[in-house]
Structure formats: structure tokens, C-alpha cells
Amino acid sequence: MTRSMKGPGLFLAQFAGDDAPFNSLEAITKWAAGLGYTGVQIPTFDTRLFDLDKAAGSQTYCDEVKGLCAEAGVEITELSTHLQGQLVAVHPAYDTAFDAFAPAELHGKPAARQAWATDQMKKAATASRNLGLDVSVSFTGSLAFPFLYPWPQRPAGLIEEAFAELARRWRPILDVYDAHGVDIAYEIHPGEDVFDGATWERFLDATGQHPRAAINYDPSHFLLQQLDYLAFIDLYHDRIRAFHVKDAEFLPTGRQGVYSGYAGWVDRAARFRSLGDGQVDFPGIFSRLAQYGYDSWAVLEWECCLKSPEQGAAEGAPFIARHIIELTDKAFDDFAGAETDTARNRAMLGIDR
């Protein structure tokens, strides 16, 4: 028996903190391994866990990081550049909010912030190669998202220009990743210009079907949009290179629906939940991914409006392990089969009578 994918993995971003065991890579990897995780996705934007600048310039540092993880009993699944990717493209409406993702000296300086983010993305390509990784995970950023709803009427060409500019910013970065043999698996996510299948196709077309543009599949974002997340796998499985295992629920009422009336997470009709507490059809997802030969990592991204991260993490590893499918090398009706006999087969078909 062989498994269709690797895991369980854990995205460390939501667990990193100033208190042990969450304040160093050595401690947090041992904690994760103790819960049953075999891989960790490392946020490159949290210097308590990882130094991206050093990783891009030092093979020795990367070997030390890999050794530290191996000693704890985990592998590195991918490097995450979600926050830096977000800053590659920021609409002015979000400037103040997204300044928090950049160093303080860049606040209020959108052009300098974008240049820094682009440099960070390129460094992550080098760091990924130094760590022996073929995939990284990120966001696309957004220029058009404030115009999501078609009222007021959008001027002709507005969205096309947004995606053309998005591609102009990303193509040079993707080319660097191509030179290093690394994919960027974008998390398709509301708030990004690429938030569903239609926008993914726009982005892919704008980048000239770039071979390094890939998908980090996260069904929670699709359930909250009421998108068919199983059919999404059918459509785009050839570009899915990473998988965030995250649950969600959509509980519409007479007062709110998908947009959730500006409510906070606890009171939203559309909200994230810990694994098994929501509505996502994980048996269906793991089956589809196995069907299409997905062989990379299944990584828990914990985000829940009710349950503690510690409980969510503890429950997440066995949940993922239970859903990973061991691929069979036998057909269920092999017992009734027979050896190939061309003459018999032609006779059964009425040929050569």
C-alpha cells in the first residue's frame, strides 16, 4: 500500500508566539511532532522561527534548519510568504491595514513596501532551493478587490487592467522561481484578486500560463463563497501543488448570508472552524486528490472562531492521518479476472466468425 499524499503537516503561523514552546523553531517543531505531525510549513515572516534573509544567503543556515527539524521528527513542507505576497499588490484602500505586514520603516511608503515584498519573494525562491523544497505557498495581493461587487458599474477594461498589472508584477518573480525549480502555490482567498476559479484563470492567462504558477488548495474559502470545491479539483488538479486542510461552515439566516453583515467571526454566517466541526466534505476532497495523484503535503491551517489553537492542533493531526488514503494496487474484482487471451476475446466479441 502507498499513500497518495504526505502528512499530517502543520502551518506554524497561527501558533507562533512569545511564550514557549511557540517562540523558537526548535521548541515548536518538537511540540508539533509530539502531537503527531510529520511536517511543518514555516512562515518566513516570523523571525522568531526563521530568518529569510539568512536562508537566502547561507546554505549552512538552511542545513541547520533542516537538521533541527529532522531532530524534532518533522520535515519542512513548504515556506510560506503569504504576507510578503500580499504586499506585491495593495490597493490604496488597504494601505494602512497592510502596512502592518511590512517593517516599520516602510509604513506609509507603498512603493518602497512593494519593492521590499518583491525582494522577499525572490529570496524565498533561493531559500526554498537551499532547503531542497520544490513548492512554496503565498498570496497574489489585490488591486481589483474593492471593485468585487459590480455596483457602481465598473468602467470597461478596469478588471483587465488590474490583472495585467498583477501579472506584470508577478512574472519577474515567477521567472526567478522557475530558475530555481520552485513553484509558487497561491492560496486562492477572498481579499486577493485571485479568489475563485474564474479569477485564477484570469491570472494564469495574464501570466502567459506561467509554469511556476500553482494553487494552494484550501476548501474553507470556497465553502464560504458557496463554490463547488470538489468540482474545483476536477478543473484545476493539474495546478494544485499544496493543500491547506481547513474547515468552515456557512449558516445563512434571514439576516445575513455570504457577506455576513460586517459581523465579527463568531457572529458571521460564514465562519472558519476547526477540523471536523464544520461542513467541508473532507472524505470527498481526499478522495478526489488521491484520484488525481496528488502526492504532496496535507497541512493543517488552524483558524477557528471558537476552539483554542492548542485543542485544534491536537485534534488536527489524527483527523488528517485518518483521511489520507492508502492507494490500492489491486482492483476489487481481480479475483474474477483471467489472463489475456486474444483469440478468446475476439471470439467473445463475435469477430472472425
Q: What's this model's pTM, rounded to 2 decimal places?
A: 0.95
Domains and CATH numbers, the chain: 2-348 (3.20.20.150)
Alpha-carbon dihedral sign for residues 6, 182, 50, 18? negative
State in Å, rounded, how far the first CA of the chain is from the last one. Answer: 44
Angle at 124 between CA 187 and CA 246, to 5 degrees: 25
Contacts of 21 by beta carbon, 8 Å cutoff, 6+ apart:
27, 28, 30, 31
In this structure, which amino acid lies at residue 203? F
Closest among 262, 271, 248, 247 to 320, alpha carbons compared: 247
229 touches 175 (CB < 8 A): no
Angle at 301 between CA 66 and CA 224, to 5 degrees: 155
Full pLDDT tens readout for the chain, 353 residues: 466 799 999 999 999 999 999 999 999 999 999 999 999 999 999 999 999 999 999 999 999 999 999 999 999 999 999 999 999 999 999 999 999 999 999 999 999 999 999 999 999 999 999 999 999 999 999 999 999 999 999 999 999 999 999 999 999 999 999 999 999 999 999 999 999 999 999 999 999 999 999 999 999 999 999 999 999 999 999 999 999 999 999 999 999 999 999 999 999 999 999 999 999 999 999 999 999 999 999 999 999 999 999 999 999 999 999 999 998 777 766 666 768 899 999 999 999 87
Closest among 216, 307, 324, 328 to 265, alpha carbons compared: 307
SS3 220: helix
In this structure, which amino acid lies at residue 26? E
